[in-house]
Each structure stands twice: as structure tokens, then as C-alpha cells.
Amino acid sequence: MDALTMKKAAGEFAARYVEPHMLIGIGTGSTAYWFIQALGERVKQGLQIQAVATSKESAQQASALQIPILELNDVDEIMLTVDGADEVDPQLQLIKGGGGALLQEKMVAAASRRLVIVADERKQVQQLGAFPLPVEVIPAGWKHVRRRILEMNCSRVELRGYPQPFVTDHGHYILDCYFGQIEDAHALNISLHQIPGVVETGLFLNLATEAIIARADGSIQIIRRES
């Protein structure tokens, strides 16, 4: 399988997890796209569900497929969220945010009973950090935040989209932080949040309950977090 086929396989497999009358969270990105497409086919066949989207892009895709969209503020608990990831380690700790929707993704994940990650085998890592860590920041002070992050043994920090900065759905900028290897993700997450101007980080820790990994040989691997 090539990368596109693996993404499609993982997304379509995850659509089987959705049961009638579920309130679900729908992720953002190239693998979550296929989950939403498969869900749309099931809705066309009569499946009744409601969904909370993690981005305007996903909301538009779902709405076009007649999947009813609710606002996060209008729900108490989401039964199941399916989303992608940029890196997945053996303990199901994640780096997310490559698609620029990390703030809404994390809010939806935190409101979910289950977070199932869909990915292809290239996203599996033994240690987080090879993928640059996205950090969402307030535009007014991004240079100050960048300087503080560089002081944290980060080799390079880039403003996404510079000189025309990428703007998130919530009106923020994203700094892509090249840490190389993250030895202690929990400590780093806390340290980043202590910098004034940081809105959220792409470290998704102790949130994922399961991962669906599509492999090049056509197989699907299910990884569950140990409780």
C-alpha cells in the first residue's frame, strides 16, 4: 500500500466504530478525511448520528455529506472521537497539529469518552519529537514566545507560513518547534504552558485510548492504551 491507500484504510476501518445515535467527534487532516467520507456513506444508508467538528474544514466536509454538526458548547460529553496524528509513540502519546487545528482538536478530545487515532505506519515512533512540535500562540507576542522556546534547548522555531503567517480557526499563529527528541513530554508541555502567549501545544498526553494503524502490507494494527 502507498501512503494514500493506508490513510484511506485506517479511516474507513474507524468508521465501523460508530454506532447509531452516537454523538461523535470528527477529526481534521488527511486520514480523518477518509473517516468522514466513510461516515458520510453510512449516513446516506440511514445511519443517524450527530457530530462535533475539530475544524471549519471538517465541519464543511461533514455538512456536505449530510452529517449533522453541533457546537462543542452545546454538548456535555462526546462518546467517541476519531482523529489523526503526526506522531504516535508506544504509550499512545501524540504530537498533533500539523493540520493547524490542534486547539479545537484538544478541546474535543478532552470532552470525549474515547479518542481513537487513525494513522498509517509512518506515524509510529519510539520517541516523540522528530516531527516539529506545533505550539499555538497569540499573534501579538509571537516573537517573544519564540525566543523563550529557543531558550528551552529547541534548535529551531519557525512561524508557520512566514512571511504570510498561517492563521488558525481561532485567530492564532502556530510556531513549529524543532526539538529533535522529547525526553519528557509531560515536563515540556507544562513548561510551554507557562510561557505567556502560548495558547496550546501539540502534545496530546494521556488522551488517546486506542490507535488504528494501517500498514503497507494491507494489515490493520489496533493498539490500546493500558489502563
Binding residues: 28-31, 83-86, 96-99, 123
Q: How far apart are CA 126 and CA 140, in angstroms?
A: 36
Give the CB-side neighbour count of residue 53, counting CA atoms within 13 A. Answer: 19
8 Å CB contact between 187 and 193: no
Q: Residue 27: how many CB atoms within 10 A of its CB?
A: 32
Largest separation between any pair of C-alpha atoms in the chain: 54
Residue type, 172: H
Annotated binding-site positions for substrate: 28-31, 83-86, 96-99, 123
DSSP state, 141?
Answer: G
Instruction: Tell me which DSSP letter residue 213 carries.
Output: E
| Measured distance CA(219)–CA(210) in Å, rounded | 16
Catalytic residue, from 12, 87, 105, 136: name it.
105
Q: Specify whether 105 is catalytic.
A: yes
**Which one-letter amino acid corresponds to residue 80?**
L
Give catalytic residues, as residue numbers: 105
